[in-house]
Amino acid sequence: MAKARGVKFGRKPKLNIGQRAQVAKRKAMGEPYARIARSYGVSESTILRVR
């Protein structure tokens, strides 16, 4: 019913697509996860989940 109308379910993402791309780039450059997390105001576990 609701899904047929196009309603989104679940929690809204903390980071948008652009931020996720930036996080992935910073991780690839070897920046500490804690520093990345602080800069976005999220937990380290959120940063760990970004691919």
pLDDT, position 2: 85
pLDDT, position 1: 86
pLDDT, position 25: 98
The two structure tokens encoding residue 4: 């047929």
pLDDT in tens, 8-50: 899 999 999 999 999 999 999 999 999 999 999 999 999 999 9
| Residue 33 near residue 47, CB atoms below 8 Å | yes
C-alpha 38/C-alpha 49 separation (Å) is 15
Rounded to the nearest angstrom, the gap between the alpha carbon of residue 5 and the centroid of all alpha carbons in its chain is 26
pLDDT, position 27: 98
pLDDT, position 41: 98
C-alpha 42/C-alpha 11 separation (Å) is 15
